Amino acid sequence: MFQFNYKLKVSERVKAKCNRHPRYNPERDGRGGIKGGCSTCFSLFDLHQARLSLDAAHREFLRRASPWTRVPRPRTKLQSVKQNGPQMQGTSL
């Protein structure tokens, strides 16, 4: 039997702006709002697309994982709580 554990954790904070087109917003302006084929604005647009893909993948992961997800319940006896045990679980992204 194949068994595996996944632990999903994504936390990145990005603040990006084109110096030549500081008002360009890929979310609002889209690909059509890029002026003069600016490579930096294209990069911002690609970054936005990657973020959307990541969000979609995250939702898909949660949707598929939900039937298998184990919610850790608080134990009544503090003695039996084992945190930071020796077993490493899953793959963190």
The Cβ of residue 15 has, within 10 Å, a number of other Cβ atoms equal to 4
Which one of the spans 30-38, 45-53, 57-65, 78-86 is the region binding Zn ion (CB under 5 A)? 30-38
Given 18, 26, 45, 48, the residue binding Zn ion (CB under 5 A)? 18
The C-alpha atoms of residue 45 and residue 42 are separated, in whole angstroms, by 5
The reply on whether position 41 binds Zn ion by CB under 5 A is: yes
Q: Name the maximum alpha-carbon separation found in the chain.
A: 65
The reply on whether position 42 binds Zn ion by CB under 5 A is: no
> Which residues of this protein are in contact with Zn ion, per CB under 5 A?
18, 20-21, 38, 40-41
